[in-house]
Amino acid sequence: MRVKVLTPLAVALGLMAAGPASAQGVVKIGVIEAMTGQQQSTGVQTLAAMRLYMQQHGDTVAGKKIELIVKDDGAVADNAKRLAQELIVRDKVNVLVGFAVTPTALAVAPLATEAKIPTIVANAGTSIITERSPYLLRTSFTLPQSSVIIGEWAAKNGIKKVVTIVSDYAPGADSEKTFTEAFTKGGGQVVEALKVPLAAPDFAPFLQRARDASPDAVFVFVPSGQGATFVKQFIERGLDKAGIRIIGPGDVTDDDLLNGMGDQVIGTVTAHMYSADHPSELNKKYVEAFKKANNGLRPNFMSVGGYDAMHLIYEALKKTNGDTNGDKLMAAMKGMAWESPRGPISIDPETRDIVQNIYIRKVEKKNGELYNVEFATFEAVKDPGKAKK
Amino acid sequence: MVTILFDGIAYGMLLFVLAAGLSVTLGLMNFVNLAHGAFAMAGGYAALVVVNRLGVPFGLGLVAAFLFSAALGALLERTLYVHVYAKSHLDQVLFTIGLVFMSVAIVDYTMGSSQQFIAIPPVLQGQITVLGIGMSKYRLMIIVICGVLTALLQLGLTRTRFGSRLRAAVDDQRVARGLGINVGAVFALTFALGSGLAGLGGALGAEILGLDPIFPLKYMIYFLIVVTVGGTSSITGPFLASLLLGIGDVAGKYYVPQLGAFVIYTIMIVVLIWRPQGLFVRKGAR
Contact criterion met (CB < 8 Å) for A225 and B117: no
Q: How far apart are CA A344 and CA A179, in angstroms?
A: 24
Three-class secondary structure of residue B82 per DSSP: helix
Residue A70, pLDDT score: 93
Query: What percent of chain A has pLDDT above 70?
Result: 92
Is the Cβ–Cβ distance between B4 and B254 less than 8 Å?
Answer: yes
Average pLDDT, integer, range B167-187: 83
- Look at residue A16 in the predicted model and tell me its pLDDT: 47
Closest by alpha carbon to A206, among A161, A175, A248, A168? A168
Cβ contact A331:A312 at 8 Å: no
pLDDT for residue B45: 92
Rounded average pLDDT over B242-249: 88
Segment A164-173 shows an average pLDDT of: 87
| Residues of each domain in chain A carrying CATH 3.40.50.2300 | 2-141+281-352, 144-272+358-387
Kindly state the DSSP code that residue B24 receives in the 8-state scheme.
Answer: I
Q: Is pLDDT above 50 for A246?
A: yes
Selection from A134, A223, A108, A143 nearest residue A385 by Cα? A143
Question: What is the pLDDT confidence band of residue A15, given thresholds at 50, 70 and 90?
Answer: very low
pLDDT at A200: 61
Report the pLDDT value the prediction gives residue A387, as an integer from 0 to 100. 62
User: Does the pLDDT at position B203 exceed 70?
Assistant: yes
Q: What is the pLDDT of residue A18?
A: 41
Contact B109/A at CB under 8 A: no
Work out the number of other CB atoms within 10 angstroms of the CB of residue B36: 31
* A5 vs A51 pLDDT, higher one: A51
Cβ proximity of B118 and B54 under 8 Å: no
Q: Partners of A61 in the beta sheet?
A: A64
Chain B residues in contact with A208 by the CB 8 A cut-off are: 3-4, 7, 254
d(CA B71, CA B189): 10
Q: In this model, does residue A105 exceed pLDDT 90?
A: yes
Please tell me the least confidently modeled range out of A365-379, B139-153, B222-236: B222-236
Residue A201: per-residue pLDDT: 62
Out of A195, A225, A238, whose CB is closest to B115?
A225
How many residues are listed for chain A in this entry?
389
SS (H, E, C) B101-170: HHHHHHHHHHHCCCCCCCCCCHHHCCEEEECCEEEEHHHHHHHHHHHHHHHHHHHHHHHCHHHHHHHHHH
Q: What is the pLDDT of residues A275-326, one digit of tens each?
A: 999 999 999 999 999 999 988 889 999 999 999 999 999 999 999 998 889 9
Split at pLDDT 50, 70, 90, the class of B286 is very low
Among all residues of chain A, which has the CA nearest to that of B213? A37
User: How does pLDDT run across B246-259, given as a tens digit for each residue?
Assistant: 888 888 888 877 77
Stretch A162-184: mean pLDDT: 89
Q: Where are the domains of chain B?
A: 2-213
Sign of the dihedral defined by the CA atoms of residues B148, B150, B151, B157, in that order: positive
Q: Is the pLDDT of residue B176 over 70?
A: yes
Pick the CATH number of A2-141+281-352 from 3.40.190.10, 3.40.50.2300, 2.30.40.10, 2.40.50.100: 3.40.50.2300
Q: Which residues of A249-265 are buried (b: 16+ CB within 10 A; e: fewer)?
A: bbbbbbbbbbeebbebb
How far apart CA A137 and CA A117 sit, in angstroms, is 11
Cβ proximity of A49 and A306 under 8 Å = yes
Q: Where are the beta strands (DSSP E) in chain A?
A: 26-33, 60-61, 64-72, 95-98, 119-121, 136-138, 161-167, 189-196, 217-221, 245-249, 269-272, 337-340, 343-347, 354-366, 369-381
CA distance B179 to chain A (A): 47
In a 10 Å sphere around its CB, with 0-12 CB exposed, 13-18 middle and 19+ buried, how is residue B281 labelled? middle
Please, are residues A383 and A142 in contact by the beta-carbon 8 Å criterion?
yes
What are residue A359's DSSP bridge partners? A272, A377
For chains A and B, CB pairs below 8 A equal: 81
pLDDT single digits (tens) B18-45? 888 888 777 777 788 888 889 999 999 9
| Mean pLDDT of all residues in B121-128 | 76
Predicted pLDDT at A183:
93
A331-344 pLDDT tens trace = 999 999 999 999 99
Distance CA B235, CA A88 (A): 57
Is the predicted pLDDT of residue B8 greater than 60, yes or no? yes
Please say whether the beta carbons of A338 and A376 come within 8 A.
no
Q: In this model, does residue A137 exceed pLDDT 90?
A: yes
Instruction: Give me the mean pLDDT over the A174-191 stretch.
Output: 91
Q: How many CB atoms lie within 10 A of CB B181?
A: 17
**Rg, Å, chain B Cα set:** 19
Asked if B36 reaches chain A (Cβ–Cβ under 8 Å), the answer is: no
Average pLDDT in the B112-116 region? 73
Q: How far apart are CA A105 and CA A108, in angstroms?
A: 5
What ipTM was reported for this prediction?
0.70
Per residue in A147-159, pLDDT tens? Answer: 999 999 999 988 9
A29 touches A68 (CB < 8 A): yes
- Topology, domain A144-272+358-387: Rossmann fold (3.40.50)
Tell me how far apart the alpha carbons of residues A15 and A7 are, in angstroms, rounded to a whole number.
12
Option in A200, A232, A257 nearest B218 (CB): A200
A84 pLDDT tier (thresholds 50, 70, 90): very high
- Poorest-confidence range of A358-367, B235-244, B270-279? B270-279
Range of weakest confidence among A20-24, A55-59, A240-244, B274-278: A20-24
Cβ within 8 Å, pair B114-A168? no
DSSP structure class, residue A266: T
Contact B113 A200 (CB under 8 A): no
Beta pairing, strands B127-130 & A343-347: unpaired
The answer to whether the Cβ–Cβ distance between B11 and A204 falls below 8 Å is: yes
Looking at residue A19, its pLDDT comes to: 40
In 3-state terms, chain B is what percent helix, strand and coil (to 5)? 75, 5, 25
Contact A208/B254, CB-based, under 8 Å?
yes
Q: Is B218 in Cβ contact with A199 (below 8 Å)?
A: yes
Q: What is the mean pLDDT of chain A?
A: 86
Residues 251-280 of A with CB under 8 A from B: 257, 260
| Whether A347 contacts A290, CB under 8 Å | no
Contacts of A232 in chain B (CB under 8 A): 117, 207
Mean pLDDT, to the nearest integer, of B148-175? 84
Q: Compute the average pLDDT of residues B82-110.
A: 87
